[in-house]
Amino acid sequence: MYFAGVDVGSTMVKAIIINQTGEILARAMLPTSWQPQVFGETVLEKAVEQAGIDRNDLKYIIGTGYGRTVLPFIHEAITEITCHGKGASFLYPQNDLVIDIGGQDSKAIKINPHGKVLNFVMNDKCAAGTGRFLQMIVANLGMEIEQIHGIKTVEPVAINSMCAVFAESEIIGLMTAGIARERIIWGVFRAITSRITGLVAAMEPFNRVTFTGGVARLRGMQKMLAEFLGKPVDVPLEPHLIGALGAALLARERYQKSH
């Protein structure tokens, strides 16, 4: 028996297929387009092909993310909050807080050892704490996201604006003043982390953090978050796939409970 989770995020569509023991058999990913339902179908087909199974072998499919409600092939739609909690607890059952920074929002999720959401807070109003903000700044610096994965550690420059629009203007001013790109990038890491830790304050007390979302792949952000929180921070090998993993795990649960 096989189960699938499809996460339609603001920048990427992801799919994961697992078997009845929770083993990941396949994962696939495509950029989100203006037709998320079409790309959701395509990414699932890619995962099915990779797993070497027939589409009809999928017993239950759950959709999550911003575009979850437009997927015509799913059995159920579940919020990304719930799915991230489930996926994170599967990998790190000892951790009680999930911090997720995606393309469009950032969130802090308090969970129990089974991945049940106890509380959460989300920032989806301001771009300054999101992946899109980071992408915008990196583009202004004439760089690609891939170039900052292993960026050397330097002293961050202070970025005082908490609004994405004003921060962009401030950063252009720093560039004009000849401030090194590395210092600006680390300044952006610190600004994003500062925004996130404001959310995290509402989740106290907590012991250990799982850091998820596309931004979690950046080692600089991992380092900055651990320093700001003063708590252990675990990062999955594929942090951008945790929502899809959680959806697949919940699909397995739903099917097993009804059969």
Domains detected in the chain: 1-92+237-258 (3.30.420.40), 96-235 (3.30.420.40)
DSSP string, 140-179: HTT--GGGGTTPPP-PPPP----SHHHHHHHHHHHHHTT-
pLDDT score recorded for residue 221? 93
Measure the CA–CA gap between 14 and 65, rounded to whole angstroms.
10
Q: What is the CB neighbour count within 10 angstroms for residue 178?
A: 6
The pLDDT, as a whole number, for residue 198 is: 81
pLDDT tens series, the chain, 259 aa: 999 999 998 889 999 999 999 999 999 999 887 788 888 999 999 999 999 999 999 999 999 998 898 899 999 999 999 999 999 999 999 999 999 998 888 899 999 999 999 999 988 556 666 778 888 888 888 888 888 888 888 899 988 766 667 777 888 888 888 889 999 999 989 988 988 888 898 899 999 999 999 999 999 999 999 999 999 999 999 999 999 999 999 999 999 999 8
- Burial, 76: exposed, middle or buried (Cβ in 10 Å; 0-12, 13-18, 19+)? middle
Residue 79, Cβ neighbours under 10 Å: how many? Answer: 14
40 close to 71: Cβ distance less than 8 angstroms: yes
